[in-house]
Amino acid sequence: MNRFASKISNDDLETRFKEYLYTHNGKFTSERMAILKLLYEDDEHLSVDDILDLARQKEIPVSRATVYRTLDLLVQSGLAKKHQFEGHETVFEAALKEGHHDHIVCVDCNKITEFFNDDLERIQNDILAKHGLVMVKHTHQLYGKCTVNNCPNRTS
């Protein structure tokens, strides 16, 4: 069993998004699809401003309000994830690119690294179960400091 979902094509994305929109009384527009694509074309965590910049670069006209509104939709539909790392602006990430992961934030260089650990996931579920709940989601960030002068996150 591979925890990584297979890479998703633009067609798949579009199909999924249309499905969601159809079942939620929403309309499929060029602006919405453009934002979704930008998110999946990029491997980074994008802020609202990043998305606006990218759109401008590609000469895709879209307003800030629409970016906000669309990102909300994408998060609700499960196509995007929203992260608020301390000391960072709010960022969004493609949700279907690969399997679940959490984040390490280097407090020296601010770089964000991803990690995944089976045991961690299992324990979290156990803890919630003991409290009579089932996991909806979790947020888990490790803030670390370099042990050497040249921050490994900076060069890795």
Q: Which of residues 8-67 bind DNA (CB under 7 A)?
A: 18, 21, 25-32, 48, 61-66
Nearest approach in angstroms of CB 94 to DNA is 18
Residue 78's nearest CA partner among 95, 56, 62, 54 is 95
Q: Which of residues 71-130 bind DNA (CB under 7 A)?
A: 72, 89-90
- Spatial separation of the C-alpha atoms in residues 45 and 82, rounded to whole Å: 9
Q: What is the DSSP string of 67-83?
A: HHHHHHHHHHHTSEEEE
- Spatial separation of the C-alpha atoms in residues 44 and 114, rounded to whole Å: 11
Return the ∠ at Cα 91 (arms to 15 and 129), rounded to 5°. 80
Q: Which residues contact 148 (CB under 8 A, 6 or more apart)?
A: none
Mark residues 130-149: x for contact with a second copy by CB under 8 A, - for none: -xxxxxxxxxxxxxxxxxx-
Residue 74 binding result from DNA, a second copy, none, given CB thresholds of 5 to 8 Å by partner type = none
Nearer to DNA, 64 or 122 (CB): 64
Nearer to DNA, 28 or 116 (CB): 28
When asked if residue 112 is in the footprint of a second copy (CB under 8 A), the reply is no
> In the complex, which residues of this chain contact DNA (CB under 7 A)?
18, 21, 25-32, 48, 61-66, 68-70, 72, 89-90
